[in-house]
Amino acid sequence: MSASSATRQLLAGFRVLLILTLLVGVAYPLAITGVAQVVSPGNANGSRLEHRGAVIGSQLIAQPFEGEEWFQPRPSAAGEDGYDTLSSSASNLGPNSSDLVAAVKERRDGYVQANGVAPADVPVDAVTAGGSGLDPHISPANARHQVARVAAARSLPPTQVQQLVDDHTQGRTLGFLGDPRVNVLDLNLALERLRQ
């Protein structure tokens, strides 16, 4: 193979690389982003929630809430302190792990004390972390058990807080996928709006 032939092939390969990079690496992502912005701008922008003009979180990512006046999300194993979006993961502890058993017992005891329910009535999602560690939803049972605590902390009638839970309970996706659920950030934002 001559030097000029090798140079031509190298230049041809470089042109193909450049064209494919522009098509697949630039044009296609821009086209998909444009379609997403038109079809579903909220989802395309991360399902962000705003309150008083500031972004306070995403409907897709759990975050911790401090204080008795808030509904609490599922426990998180993401990062050292939990809810770390840069360290999304499960604990990888198996069902026979003494560390997992101890963590579940500690979470159950804390839930029982905070919400005044019997240990046997504590929902599973109140004591176990989701696979990502950032699950933004809790079960309706978990939310119902927290109603009395939240209502007392906010000096609200429990029926009013329970109505908020009912209003924010989402059914199964397409009527048969998954379980009914309550988005904690949405629910807490609705609680905050009651103060206005």
Q: Where are the domains of the chain?
A: 3-42, 46-194
DSSP secondary structure letters along 20-45: HHHIIIIIHHHHHHHHHHHH-HHHHT
State residue 90's pLDDT score: 76
Whole-Å CA distances, 22 to 13, 26, 29, 30: 14, 5, 10, 11
State residue 161's pLDDT score: 95
State residue 21's pLDDT score: 96
Handedness of CA 157, 159, 114, 183 (dihedral sign): negative
| 64 contacts: CB under 8 Å, gap ≥ 6 | 73, 76, 82, 83
Handedness of CA 82, 84, 73, 139 (dihedral sign): negative
State residue 1's pLDDT score: 64
Per residue in 90-141, pLDDT (tens digit) is 778 888 899 989 999 999 999 999 999 999 999 999 999 887 888 899 999 9
CA triple 136-140-142, angle to 5 deg: 80
Task: Report pTM.
Answer: 0.77
State residue 61's pLDDT score: 86
Q: In the chain, which residues have pLDDT < 70?
A: 1, 196
State residue 147's pLDDT score: 97
CB-based contact 107:125 (threshold 8 Å):
no
State residue 5's pLDDT score: 86
